[in-house]
Amino acid sequence: MTATEARPESEAPEREIGKDRRRKEDQRLITGRTRWTDNIQLPGMLHLAMVRSPFAHARITAIDTSEAKQSPNVVDVVTGQDLAETQGVLINAWPITPDQKTPTHLPVAIDRVAFAGEVVAVVVARSAAEARDAAELVDVDYEELPAALDLKDAAADTVLAHPDLGSNKSAYWVFDSAEAGTGSNVEDAITQARDGGIVLEREYRQQRLIPAFMEPRSTVVDPTGEQLTVWSATQIPHILRFALAATTGIPESKLRVIAPDVGGGFGGKLQTTPEEWITVALARRTGKPVKYTETRSESLMAAHHGRDQWQKLTLSADREGNVTGLKVELLADLGAYVSLVGGGVPVLGAFMFNAIYKFPAYHFAVQTVLTNKTWTDAYRGAGRPEATFAIERIMDELAAEVGVDPLEIREHNWIKHEEFPFTTVAGLEYDSGNYEAATARAKELFGYDELRAEQRRRRESGDPVQLGLGVSTFTEMCGLAPSRVLGQLDYGAGGWEHASVRMLATGKVEVVTGVSAHGQGHETAFSQIVADRLGVPFEDVEVLHGDTQVSAKGLDTYGSRSLVVGGEALVKATDKVVEKAKAVAAHLLEASADDLDFSGGRFSVRGTDQGLAIQEIAGAVFAAHNLPDGMEPSLDSDATYDPVNFNYPHGTHLCAMEVDTETGELTMRKYVCVDDIGNVINPLIVSGQVHGGLVQGIAQALWEEAVYDDSGTLVSGSFVDYLLPTAADTISFEVDHTTTPSLTNTLGTKGVGEAGTIASTPAVVNAVVDAVRHLGITDIRMPCTPERVWRAIQDAGSGQEPTTGAAAPHFDASTGMEGTVDRTAGDAQ
């Protein structure tokens, strides 16, 4: 089951890789010694407040800033018109088709707003409170326009989100296995199955979600030095620098972007934002340091949202349940603008609907659609949770149709462990995996057979609380990404990563990485990797990141790429340091390099007791008194690594849900997951990534949804209404691993950042549906609230008799809180 490669024992006395090191980051974070962007105070710093449109779609007819300008300590009030020449424009890095319709996205709208929350004016004042006060005094006249809100209506162009574009349809992107030569024709498969086989046609809804990182976004811009310094709560300092330079006319070399401590992202800070562009523009305009920090309501309303798709699936199979074809038709809501990744999010899902199953034929099509709602982009998993949800839901439906256990139908169709490497119908080569092993371990931990027996007992006894078991055998592609593949998909950049390793004179090591952590624990995990490879103490490694003047090259953190791409760059840079040091060691030890062994941080001459530690060599290179002829006095090394393939973590997640059929109340009883993420650098960090990912995925299944009213106002615009789960809503999880090392990187690792989120949503919904399937229910839309569950039971006609009349126990003031009043007659006041 486990196939972890053994390393020779002599290599390091105590291996760091695999150890559950406590995190280096934590000492600061648990004592409040933090550097969040909003903590930054600079001399003479000014503060911004945004005036935002209350309308989803409107023409701006007039803006009167005169009263706001008179407000105490207000320095300036500007409109889009005032900034027209300097504000730049927000980019879409991934036009998924050459003819994609992409509305111009200005930081401050000039004559028309396209979603409620769009910025129309900006106040600059000496304090944040004074800026906010004055923002209330800006008088904007709007002429309201009809708003395109509902995704399906918008796709039919009933109302235009951007009238000048002539259509809401932004791009239509297709992958077809017959055309690509990776499989056969899906229509043929479906036609064939209609005659005696099984054809399942289902439509699933991916509701709109809000990433809801805990640290609100904040940007500080200091224009007082030679370079313009931008601090921002972002996942992507390097991409931000590039995009600012590309659109504002500021030379890239005059821009320094710093992502200091960043409080979570989950894709939500994988964005180039209007607020960043506005802060840059006003720092340049005023010549003073400027700060903007959003409120939580602004964050929920105007920071990008995630998911929001309709998914139409047609699955064909023979009577035994062997899948023969899968056709996927998506509608994806872009919101008002095509964001940084934009339509690329559903495209990232295109290769994952076939999942771990051997479909011979596959067709995927997505229509991206513009609406007058908040723009959407990546949210943890980005495209892959949507794909995994749909396929794992419909595989359960296939199991029900065939009349077998959901695990049996999966086993019937999945790639066997001896079939790796396996080229899928979507054209990807899965390098390694063992679905049988992960599933066997998960079943054992879960007590699958016992729980199935309990489920049967409850069914038979007519227990009002029914038990459901949900399965999700997910895989995902992560480690974004081979640049060649990104180029083929028309993404605007590459997917490489950069690292530098610097040997300091005192023997300490500085590691510079181009990835940019915001909670992932890179400082700890990367220290472990470098400590092992250089043989230096874990404590002696300092990991630097998130400042473009320190980390000059990088493509930042998203898509579970930091370890599998950034870590590999680090391995390559570290190995170069060792190579350089070896030449010095051979010179100083007067030995042939071929006779040297490197182990535990020491070069030793084979067969002798002579040797030198790498720290001693670092000191000798610093002094540079006695180096090999022609050698530069430096051990420092860089590496830029472009991945050769994605990697494919997988796992089996099992969830037990109890459903009260009288009230619709849901209780999670047990959740077990066994993930194969290859070799693990730090099991403690991995477990944290899994737990947190699980809860985000579970929250999509049960609680979260961004809801708009009929006029396009976000009604779930605060944490009162947008239901983030609390400690009291969640349970403790059982997490375990099986291991098949990835073959696409030296460390044998696979990504883990998104795995929990991708896997858990269908496991939970499958469990909920499984609990009530015997009542004739085959789907419940997410989030599966008690109300939706209750209604599904009622609509299926199998619920309890509705409570009527005086049987309803209403304590009522009119009876001194003692009696009950029959309200059904409508006469109780």
Partner 1 sequence: MVRINLTVDGAKVADDVEPRMLLVHYLREKLGKTGTVVGCDTSNCGACTVHLDGTSVKSCNVLAVQADGGEVTTIEGLAKDGQLHPVQEAFRECHGLQCGYCTPGMIMQSVDLLKENPHPSEDEIRLGLEGNLCRCTGYHNIVKAVQHAAGQGEAVQA
Segment interacting with partner 1 (CB under 8 A) among 118-126, 446-454, 477-485, 688-696: 688-696
Question: Could you tell me the CA-to-CA distances from 311 to 97, 206, 267, 491, 800 in Å, in that order?
Answer: 20, 8, 22, 24, 32
> What stretch of H or E contains 362?
strand 362-370
Regarding 733 and contact with partner 1 (CB under 8 A), the answer is: yes
CB of 334 closer than 8 Å to CB of 368: yes
| Cross-strand partners of 423 | 429
Length of the chain: 829
Regarding 737 and contact with partner 1 (CB under 8 A), the answer is: no
CB of 413 closer than 8 Å to CB of 322: yes
Regarding 18 and contact with partner 1 (CB under 8 A), the answer is: no
State CA 399 to chain mean position distance.
30
CB of 36 to partner 1, least distance (A): 6
How far is Cα 273 from Cα 551, in angstroms, rounded to an integer?
22
* Number of residues in contact with partner 1 under rule CB under 8 A: 56
Regarding 95 and contact with partner 1 (CB under 8 A), the answer is: no
Segment interacting with partner 1 (CB under 8 A) among 76-84, 535-543, 714-722, 775-783: 714-722
| Cross-strand partners of 325 | 316
How far is Cα 657 from Cα 666, in angstroms, rounded to an integer?
7
Regarding 62 and contact with partner 1 (CB under 8 A), the answer is: no
For partner 1, the closer of residues 105 and 737 by Cβ is: 737
Detail the DSSP E strand segments found in 1-95.
46-52, 58-64, 74-79
Q: Which of residues 125-154 bind partner 1 (CB under 8 A)?
A: 129
How far is Cα 713 from Cα 115, in angstroms, rounded to an integer?
9
CB of 262 to partner 1, least distance (A): 7
Single out the residue of 62, 728, 813, 817 in contact with partner 1 (rule: CB under 8 A).
728
Single out the residue of 1, 2, 15, 29 in contact with partner 1 (rule: CB under 8 A).
29
Residue type, 652: T
Regarding 518 and contact with partner 1 (CB under 8 A), the answer is: yes
Detail the DSSP E strand segments found in 210-265.
218-222, 228-232, 255-258
Single out the residue of 89, 165, 400, 724 in contact with partner 1 (rule: CB under 8 A).
724
**Burial degree of 576 (CB within 10 A; 0-12, 13-18, 19+):** middle
SS3 42: coil
How far is Cα 465 from Cα 667, in angstroms, rounded to an integer?
10
Regarding 81 and contact with partner 1 (CB under 8 A), the answer is: no
For partner 1, the closer of residues 300 and 366 by Cβ is: 300
For partner 1, the closer of residues 133 and 568 by Cβ is: 133
Single out the residue of 5, 8, 98, 214 in contact with partner 1 (rule: CB under 8 A).
214
Single out the residue of 95, 383, 600, 693 in contact with partner 1 (rule: CB under 8 A).
693
Regarding 264 and contact with partner 1 (CB under 8 A), the answer is: yes
SS3 512: strand
For partner 1, the closer of residues 259 and 585 by Cβ is: 259
How far is Cα 188 from Cα 179, in angstroms, rounded to an integer?
13
| Cross-strand partners of 497 | 641
Least Cα distance to 177 among 163, 187, 169, 165 occurs for 187
Query: 39: how many CB neighbours lie within 10 A of its CB?
Result: 12
Regarding 235 and contact with partner 1 (CB under 8 A), the answer is: no
How far is Cα 450 from Cα 672, in angstroms, rounded to an integer?
14
Regarding 625 and contact with partner 1 (CB under 8 A), the answer is: no
Regarding 295 and contact with partner 1 (CB under 8 A), the answer is: yes
Segment interacting with partner 1 (CB under 8 A) among 118-126, 208-216, 579-587, 608-616: 208-216
Query: 667: how many CB neighbours lie within 10 A of its CB?
Result: 11
For partner 1, the closer of residues 303 and 584 by Cβ is: 303
Regarding 778 and contact with partner 1 (CB under 8 A), the answer is: no
CB of 256 closer than 8 Å to CB of 14: no
Single out the residue of 11, 25, 157, 436 in contact with partner 1 (rule: CB under 8 A).
25
Single out the residue of 6, 62, 720, 825 in contact with partner 1 (rule: CB under 8 A).
720
How far is Cα 265 from Cα 519, in angstroms, rounded to an integer?
9
Regarding 215 and contact with partner 1 (CB under 8 A), the answer is: yes
For partner 1, the closer of residues 36 and 622 by Cβ is: 36
How far is Cα 589 from Cα 413, in angstroms, rounded to an integer?
60
With tokens 């839309």, the residue in question is 781
Regarding 520 and contact with partner 1 (CB under 8 A), the answer is: yes
CB of 71 closer than 8 Å to CB of 133: yes
Single out the residue of 286, 713, 718, 794 in contact with partner 1 (rule: CB under 8 A).
718
Single out the residue of 433, 546, 688, 741 in contact with partner 1 (rule: CB under 8 A).
688
Single out the residue of 687, 711, 713, 798 in contact with partner 1 (rule: CB under 8 A).
687
DSSP letter at 122?
A: E
Q: What are phi and psi of 213, to 5 degrees?
A: -55, 150
Single out the residue of 107, 117, 216, 470 in contact with partner 1 (rule: CB under 8 A).
216
CB of 583 closer than 8 Å to CB of 650: no
Phi-psi sector, 403: left (phi>0), alpha (psi -120 to 50), beta: left
Single out the residue of 95, 260, 263, 343 in contact with partner 1 (rule: CB under 8 A).
263
- Binding mask 167-206 toward partner 1 (x if CB under 8 A, else -) reads ----------------------------------------
For partner 1, the closer of residues 213 and 353 by Cβ is: 213
Residue type, 568: E
CB of 149 to partner 1, least distance (A): 25
Which residue pairs from 451-460 have beta carbons closer than 8 angstroms and sit at least 24 positions apart in sequence?
451/656, 451/670, 452/405, 455/770, 459/774
Least Cα distance to 246 among 227, 220, 272, 269 occurs for 272
Single out the residue of 94, 173, 213, 491 in contact with partner 1 (rule: CB under 8 A).
213
For partner 1, the closer of residues 281 and 680 by Cβ is: 680
Single out the residue of 15, 22, 194, 606 in contact with partner 1 (rule: CB under 8 A).
22
Segment interacting with partner 1 (CB under 8 A) among 442-450, 483-491, 494-502, 693-701: 693-701
Least Cα distance to 494 among 239, 258, 173, 268 occurs for 239
For partner 1, the closer of residues 351 and 733 by Cβ is: 733
Regarding 443 and contact with partner 1 (CB under 8 A), the answer is: no
| Cross-strand partners of 309 | 206, 332
Single out the residue of 3, 4, 13, 26 in contact with partner 1 (rule: CB under 8 A).
26
Regarding 36 and contact with partner 1 (CB under 8 A), the answer is: yes
DSSP letter at 38?
A: G
For partner 1, the closer of residues 663 and 718 by Cβ is: 718
Single out the residue of 1, 3, 30, 505 in contact with partner 1 (rule: CB under 8 A).
30
Single out the residue of 78, 151, 212, 366 in contact with partner 1 (rule: CB under 8 A).
212
State CA 437 to chain mean position distance.
27
Regarding 43 and contact with partner 1 (CB under 8 A), the answer is: no
Single out the residue of 6, 8, 10, 31 in contact with partner 1 (rule: CB under 8 A).
31
Q: What are phi and psi of 58, to 5 degrees?
A: -160, 155
Single out the residue of 58, 119, 200, 262 in contact with partner 1 (rule: CB under 8 A).
262
Regarding 684 and contact with partner 1 (CB under 8 A), the answer is: yes
Single out the residue of 38, 377, 676, 705 in contact with partner 1 (rule: CB under 8 A).
38
Regarding 726 and contact with partner 1 (CB under 8 A), the answer is: yes
CB of 291 to partner 1, least distance (A): 11
CB of 675 closer than 8 Å to CB of 694: no
Which residues contact partner 1 (rule: CB under 8 A)?
22-23, 25-34, 36, 38-39, 41, 129, 212-216, 261-264, 266, 295-297, 518-521, 684-685, 687-688, 691-696, 718-720, 724-728, 730, 732-733, 756
